[in-house]
Amino acid sequence: MSYNFDAAVSPFIKARPPSGLAKFLDIMAANPNIVPLSVGEPDFDIPQAVKDAEINSICEGKS
């Protein structure tokens, strides 16, 4: 069963202009050269040097 989200949104909210953040995210999504790292995890491995630096920082209490 699908839900009609459009019917659940008030006319007042529908009349609001899109937020600047929404516009920015649309621009980012349209650019294949931008790797979004804001949601979830990247789909590539972290370089070993970065992993080592993270471990060293944690061990030195700099977390």
Amino acid 50: pLDDT: 93
pLDDT of 58: 93
In angstroms, the first-to-last Cα distance of the chain is 46
Measure the CA dihedral 18/24/27/31, to 10°.
Answer: -160
Continuous segment of H or E residues that includes residue 55: helix 48-59
- Opening angle at CA 24, ends 18 and 30, nearest 5: 110
pLDDT at 41 over 80: no
- pLDDT for the residue 30: 93
The pLDDT score that the predictor gives to residue 61 is 93
More confident residue, 29 or 1: 29
User: Which pair of tokens denotes residue 49?
Assistant: 């040097």
Quick one: pLDDT at residue 54? Answer: 92
CA atoms within 13 A on the CB side of 60: 7
pLDDT above 80 (res 31):
yes
